[in-house]
Amino acid sequence: STQSTGVAGIPAMATLRLARFHARCAPPPAIEPSGPEQSEQLATEFCDTCYHRIPASKFARHRGFCREFGFRKPGHVVRSTPVLPLLSTICGNPVVLSDVFMDWSTVADRVMGAWGTGSLSGLPAEIQAQVPSAIMRVAKLGCLRETEKKMKHWAQEAIMLLQIQEWLSTTSRDSGVCIVEVGAYGGELSHMLQEFVGETSMVLIDMIVPDKCVDACYEGSSRFTRLVKGVEEVTAAEIRKAANGAQTTVVMAKHLCGAAADSMLRQVATGWQLEGEVFVCISHCCQHKAIWEEYVGQHRFREQGLTSEDFDFIKNHVAWKCVANREQKGRFFDGLHRLGRLFEHLFDVSRDEYMRECGFDTKSFYFCDEDVTMRNIMLTCCRSA
């Protein structure tokens, strides 16, 4: 490592430059105040991410942001990454930094227009009106959840259950219904759905079975199946056996992470060979865990002239959307939030297009506000018999 030196208590300029660009260099020595009255003003701490000295009173806040994004200012973040070339490639003409932070609506319209998608809508009014009462029903049933954020979980679950209930009300259930929950964990969501739509066959898929789960409630029942494996390992024969002859299948997943979501959509579209009517309801989550080789939206990325490297950048920077949850304010931070939101939009609607190409009627929409969950895009797909 390189040790900097100081002149009259101030680090040498050449040493500062080296410190900023040399990975993990040792911090400069602390600045010595000239008198007790200046000690509070001169107290600083060294940031080993951006190699700046930060006033001690602001250091904790600075370090949290700096470690996540690698720089002090969002403008630096954008300049130092492939954001502008990437957006320019999609649009077919240059996008500059001032566009991103000063004229965002125009940039977003250009990008989404080139991608072949429009802005996402929210919940239909008829569903929105039922949400408060549905949350109360879910809260009474949600006995397994003991987290501080349980109300936010209940709100999301209530909306998903209402979507499924609404679709089932338009279909014939004479031949039975099979609910397949991927990433089921304790199975609470499927258990709640029984109270909304009546008894169905249930298939819970997850590699983990927690101590608190609904399995005991269905012990010995022929309509309950637990598959302790990854969704990509579940076979069509296992699904047919668990369905007990049902000709209506609902596949759901609340915040299914990364590549598991792509595996689920691929299984529904082709792998499980589902017969009869099919409905899929999934809220996207953890895009940064997705894998290019498994991603079902590859075709759309390639059509836009993007590569696997561009895919990696987009999935990893969906997290910029979460800047809105921070106490950071101002035009630059709003710009990062908008970029993250746009990346999430492009990532998720590419999955939507894959399911549409596989013969499903699809819809992507914002199912709740960002103060409930930042991962608030839901995809529904349905296919007639």
Query: What tens digit of pLDDT does each residue of 200-254 get?
Result: 999 999 999 998 899 998 998 999 999 999 999 999 999 999 999 999 999 999 9
* Alpha carbon separation from 158 to 343, 370, 376 (Å, rounded): 27, 16, 14
Q: Is 44 left (phi over 0), alpha (psi -120 to 50) or beta?
A: beta
pLDDT digits (tens, 9 = 90+) for 319-339: 888 764 454 555 556 777 888
Residue 104 has pLDDT above 50, yes or no: yes
Residue 357: the pLDDT is 95
User: Global pTM?
Assistant: 0.77
Q: In the structure, what pLDDT confidence band is assigned to residue 9 with cuts at 50, 70 and 90? A: very low
Q: Are 178 and 243 in contact (CB under 8 A)?
A: yes
List CB contacts of 155: < 8 A, sequence separation 6 or more: 131, 135, 368, 372
Residue 42 has pLDDT above 90, yes or no: no
pLDDT digits (tens, 9 = 90+) for 179-215: 999 999 999 899 999 988 988 999 999 999 998 899 9
Average pLDDT over residues 251-275: 94
Residue 163: the pLDDT is 95
pLDDT digits (tens, 9 = 90+) for 108-120: 889 999 998 888 8
Residue 69: the pLDDT is 53
Residue 380 has pLDDT above 90, yes or no: yes
pLDDT digits (tens, 9 = 90+) for 271-324: 999 989 999 999 999 898 999 999 999 999 999 999 999 999 999 888 888 764
Residue 293, classed as helix, strand or coil, is coil
Residue 45 has pLDDT above 80, yes or no: no
Least confidently predicted of 65-74, 86-95, 126-135: 65-74
Beta bridge pairs of residue 178: 201, 249
List CB contacts of 209: < 8 A, sequence separation 6 or more: 215, 226, 228
Could you give the percent of the chain with pLDDT greater than 70? Answer: 77
Least confidently predicted of 33-47, 57-71, 100-114, 266-280: 33-47
Average pLDDT over residues 55-75: 66
DSSP string, 6-65: EETTEE-HHHHHHHHHSTTPPPPPPPPPSSGGGHHHH-EEE-TTT--EEEHHHHHHHHHH
| 43 phi, psi to nearest 5 deg | -65, 120
Residue 48 has pLDDT above 60, yes or no: no
**Pure H helices in 198-330:** 236-243, 258-266, 298-303, 308-316
Which amino acid, one-letter code, is at 96?
V
Residue 367 has pLDDT above 60, yes or no: yes
Q: Is the model more confident about 355 or about 28? A: 355
Q: In the structure, what pLDDT confidence band is assigned to residue 77 with cuts at 50, 70 and 90? A: low
Given the structure tokens 């936010």, which residue do they identify? 152
Across the chain, mean pLDDT equals 81
Distance CA 344, CA 48 (A): 30
Distance CA 379, CA 281 (A): 6
Two structure tokens written together for 324: 């809105």
Q: Are strands 224-227 and 201-205 parallel, antiparallel or unpaired?
A: parallel
Residue 89: the pLDDT is 92
List CB contacts of 100: < 8 A, sequence separation 6 or more: 78, 83, 84, 87, 107, 335, 338, 339
